[in-house]
Amino acid sequence: RHTRQLRPPSLTPDTRTPSRHAPDSNLFYPAAPTLYLMSHPFLSEDPGFRPCRPMMALVLGNTMLSTVPGISGAGPTPEKTLLTPVLDAELVTTGAITSVPARPNTPTGCPTPATITRSMMELTGLAPVLINAGLAHTPTVPCLDVYGSPGGDPRKEDAVPHAAPLFERGETVGRLLSQYSDFLMLGECVPGGTTTALCVLRALGYDASVSSAFAENPVGLKNAVCREVLARIDETGARGPLEILRAAGDPMMPVAAGIASAYTGDILFAGGTQMLAVAATLKALGRRVPHLATTIYVRDDPTAGFVRSVADVGTTAYFVDPNFAGIGHVGLARYCIGEVKEGMGAGGALTLAYLMGHDPEEITRKVFDFVTKYA
């Protein structure tokens, strides 16, 4: 792995010898990427990937836990969180939300992570691949469909009754995506998914905490839900990793795990605690455990303990710092006080643009230009 060395404040091309991933030319950019270094690290560590055919894929799903008041901040009301993945997919794919009268901002004016991911798709010229793992509403843009259902409330019932078949269908998708790419940045959109991630991580034996889209993480409520879920798991005797996903997860988890298990190229997980739960599942299954790319806002959440949980799972996380505090946008600056933090693969999308050779100023400027269209 190449370690990024920080240099003086001016942008300086990185002239190190390219890794085995660096092409002379490819379909996405005409020459091997020139990486730029800043006086502060845009990326905490260089993953060392220089893909010829990168792909961004996002697994969409719902869990009924997002409708519990106070659990999820990924929507204007608990009920409307069920629509968020559909609207995020529409925005990331087309650059706008036209199916309903909605703007991609939180009620406080913070741009949603989908705006960041879309801006990076425009910058890199990539078309995102969307996978419907189990949505409550019909998507408005094309998706690969594995014919899952929204996740149930794990306090009352098995959340993902068909977790094992969904894992196998995810493997089919992973083999398919392998034919069209050599590097996969795999993210998710599941409102309420940090709570299912908490349940899964603890059921797998980790003393984990998780992040939240809220600036004030509803830790007490999540822990109360998790205690009920773990008590039901103890009663049912679920022990294997796919049994735990069946009992306590959401449909994204087995699908993403299956994709990662079967994908033959290099892979990074785009996301924080939700994708970490997928990584922990893969470890329990004895499969390859991908590294993660997420934002510093997840890392710096004192209620999440993310760095410790990453170490406990035995993987590595790369943290991207888009400098939203100094970008000159009041809404984006709210990320720095803990609002939203991550979602829809935003941290991974920023990382992927960087790995493809776009310098930090260009990346940040593109995010600013895109979100100001909605101001």
CATH of the domain at 193: 3.40.50.10210
Beta bridge partners of residue 294, listed in sequence order: 319
For residue range 211-269, list pLDDT tens digits in order: 655 555 678 898 999 999 999 999 998 889 999 999 999 999 999 999 999 999 999 99
Closest CA to 182 of 336, 28, 15: 28
Cβ atoms 291, 315 nearer than 8 A:
yes
Count of structural domains within the chain: 1
Tell me the pLDDT of the chain averaged across its residues: 87
Mean pLDDT of 133-138: 98
Mean pLDDT of 44-72: 94
pLDDT value, residue 72: 83
Percent of the chain with pLDDT over 70: 87
Cβ atoms 310, 316 nearer than 8 A:
yes
Is residue 28 scored above 70 in pLDDT? no
User: In a 3-state reduction of DSSP, which class is residue 324?
Assistant: helix
Mean pLDDT of 186-197: 96
From 219-223, 258-262, 311-315, 339-343, the region with the lowest mean pLDDT: 339-343
User: What is the identity of the amino acid at 17?
Assistant: T
In a domain, 39, yes or no: no
Is residue 188 scored above 60 in pLDDT? yes
Cβ atoms 200, 245 nearer than 8 A:
yes
Is residue 75 scored above 50 in pLDDT? yes
Place of tokens 């599941």: 190
Mean pLDDT of 139-164: 98
In a domain, 106, yes or no: yes
Q: Which structural domain, as residue segments, surrounds residue 181? A: 49-370
Is residue 88 scored above 70 in pLDDT? yes
Is residue 51 scored above 80 in pLDDT? yes
Residues in the chain, overall count: 375
Task: Give Rg (Cα) of the chain.
Answer: 19
In a domain, 181, yes or no: yes
In a domain, 8, yes or no: no
In a domain, 301, yes or no: yes
| Most confident residue range from 58-72, 139-153, 301-315 | 139-153
Percent of the chain with pLDDT over 90: 69
Cβ atoms 170, 262 nearer than 8 A:
yes
Beta bridge partners of residue 318, listed in sequence order: 293
In a domain, 103, yes or no: yes
In a domain, 42, yes or no: no
In a domain, 183, yes or no: yes
